[in-house]
Structure 1
Amino acid sequence: MTQTATMRARELPQTDPATARANLTAEFVALIDLVDGLAPDDWTRPTECTGWTVRHMVAHIAGSAECAVRKSTLLRVYASAGWNSRKAPDTFIDHMCAAQIAARADMTDREVAADLKRWARDAPARLAAAPGFIRRLRVPAASGAPKGATLSWFLDVINTRDVWMHRVDLARALGVARETTVAEPEAVRQVIRDLDTDWSGPPLALTLTGVGGGTWRIGAGDPVAHVTEDAVAFLRLLSGRSDECPLATDGDPSAADSLRAARVLF
């Protein structure tokens, strides 16, 4: 097995508010450019998120941006999702997304596009401006967040990650090339950081190729394998969307098996 000197992924710093604001702004600009180019028939195209069309996905992102700007909307969506600290994270998130989509059910497609622009304009700045005492609050374990995560993780990491991954979804649904932004390398790093934070599999070296790629150590101890994969394909695997990854492995094959079974919250 080829040995590669790397840093532990969990040692990467969490995205800071200023970087998060710039990255989310860039992601929204790219998303809006894509949405502005949608033809009428494009809105009903199915995506790889079960049961969601392109319209559902855009409506969800618009709703998420509104939640970032309007606290009253955030509280209403939380209430409609039936939040409690014991509810499974996927169930809660599904209910939140459903509420965001339902709130736009009576809008035309172009009104949904305009709604996205309305909230995306201010969302990055509002999230970055969240006060320190809010940022330091611990996230409930039932949320699916990595160990030790605070609300700063939701504010500075998850929001950009969500828009970025949904742009991947939309590009695949539409059969178009995806625009890359300055946010992509940081989005990749933060996913790998979260993976290593909760990792319980064998230690390994992970090399991701493409935009945002790099090499990191996952797990404590000397790597038993070196696994190589395309960055976007690997993040789609971790999100549970698809398993299209060969996970080329030099060394113990159990390392690839553990990666294939791993999940990170998106």
Structure 2
Amino acid sequence: MRSGLLADLSAEGAALDELLGALAPADWARPTPAAGWTVAAQVAHLAWTDELALLAATDPVAFAARSAGDPADAVDRGAAEGVAAPSAALLARWRAGRERLADALSSIPEGTRLRWFGPPMSVSSMATARLMETWAHGVDIGDALGRLPHPSARLDHVAHLGVRTRGFAFAAHGLPAPTAPIRVELTREDGSSWTDGPEDAPQRVRGPVLDFCLRVVQRRPRAALALVAVGPDADRWLDVAQAFAGAPGRGSEGRHLGGTEQHRAR
């Protein structure tokens, strides 16, 4: 399973890379929905976070030193420093970092736990979080360029993470996590289904996989999505859903560290 997940992580990066590689230099300065962040800032953030993930995988001491302090401040600094570079250099940096991270993750023995901003993570959890974040920031970049999000089979990983982080999402909003099971029934673009939870659960969430993923990364308001909730816990979940680290509601700002404590999904 891990090899398939790592292949999907590489494919998600390649899909965004294809879009970025076709941009004119002026396009890198376009504002994205994340307040104050340009296309370049989004890519700089991805490059910075991949580099931190690489340190977590290869040099825990160096990771601890570089990640010290307020994570939110570090995110902003990492993005700001990256934006100062020419777009070609920034793109090359992100490409090289993605490749090094993929190589490192593929060589780590099963069962290894990686240090991160919360409790240690498995390699699969780290890869899932990096895929989620690459896709989410890719949505921001696509929005800046007038490109609609394209659903792919890789969204299964984002949906998985969205479900596994339900308890965290409630806690982040100061709410108790529901104890009753919730059935999730999502439809892929090809008409097939992605499901989670007991078939006989009275509470349910239904809708397109793409819409569910956009909601759990908070890239679209609930009212704009074709998601249906049955039951009070399911309904509240769609209000607070959050598959990324950070304070509630920060997804629309684009400032989140994929893979902290709530991303222990696998």
Using structure 2 for the length normalisation, give the TM-score. 0.71
CA distance in 2 between counterparts of 1:235 and 1:205 reads 16
How far apart are residue 59 of structure 1 and its match? 0.9
Which among 194, 208, 231 is matched to residue 230 of structure 1? 208
Q: Match for residue 214 of structure 1?
A: 194
**Residue identity opposite 1:47 in structure 2:** T
Could you say what the CA RMSD is over the residues aligned between the two structures, in angstroms? 3.4
> What does 1:67-82 correspond to in 2, within 5 Å?
67-69=52-54, 78-82=64-68
Matches within 5 A, 1:1-266: 16-69=1-54, 78-83=64-69, 92=71, 94-132=72-110, 135-136=112-113, 143=118, 150-195=121-166, 200-201=177-178, 202-211=180-189, 213-217=193-197, 223-244=201-222, 245=225, 247-249=227-229, 251-265=230-244, 266=258
The answer as to whether partners of 2:55 and 2:62 remain within 8 angstroms in 1 is no
Q: CA deviation at 1:58?
A: 0.6
Could you tell me which runs of 5 or more consecutive residues in structure 1 were left unpaired when the two chains were aligned: 1-15, 84-90
Q: Distance in 1 between matches of 2:122 and 2:37?
A: 28
Matched residue type, 1:156? A
User: Shift in Å at residue 246 of structure 1?
Assistant: 5.2
Which residue of structure 2 aligns with residue 10 of structure 1?
A: none
Residue type at the aligned position of 1:185: D
Q: Kindly indicate whether the alpha-carbon contact (under 8 Å) linking 1:58 and 1:112 is maintained by their aligned counterparts in 2.
A: yes
Match of residue 248 from structure 2 = none
The Cα shift of 1:205 comes to 2.2
Write the distance in 2 (CA, Å) between the matches of 1:162 and 1:130.
Answer: 21
Q: Percent identity?
A: 23
CA–CA separation in structure 1 for the residues paired with 2:59 and 2:145: 30
Partner of 2:173: none
Distance 1:60 1:78, change over 3 A: farther
**Match of 2:174?**
none
State whether residues 2 and 124 of structure 2, in contact with CA within 8 Å, keep that contact through their aligned partners in structure 1.
no
Q: State how far apart, in whole Å, the 2-side matches of 1:194 and 1:261 are.
A: 11
State the AA in 2 paired with 1:259: L
Q: Match of 1:176, SS? A: coil
**1:53 counterpart letter in structure 2:** T
The residue type equivalent to 1:79 in the other structure is A
| Partner amino acid, structure 2, of 1:150 | M
Deviation at 1:74, TM superposition (A): 7.8
Q: Secondary structure at the match of 1:206?
A: strand
1:256 corresponds to which letter in structure 2? D
Contact 2:166 2:237 in 1 (8 A): no
Distance 1:68 1:35, change over 3 A: same
Give the Cα–Cα distance (whole angstroms) in 2 for the partners of residues 242 and 180 of structure 1: 15
1: CA distance, partners of 2:4 / 2:84: 36
**Structure 1 counterpart of 2:156, one-letter code:** P
Q: Structure 2 counterpart of 1:170, which letter?
A: I
Equivalenced residues, count: 233
CA drift at 1:41: 2.7
Q: SS in structure 2 opposite 1:49?
A: coil
Q: Does structure 2 retain, via aligned residues, the 8 Å contact 1:209–1:229?
A: yes
CA contact (8 A) 1:66 1:123 kept: yes
TM-score (structure 1 length as normaliser): 0.71
Aligned to 1:13: none
Structure 1 pair 217–42 and aligned structure 2 pair: CA distance change class (3 A): same
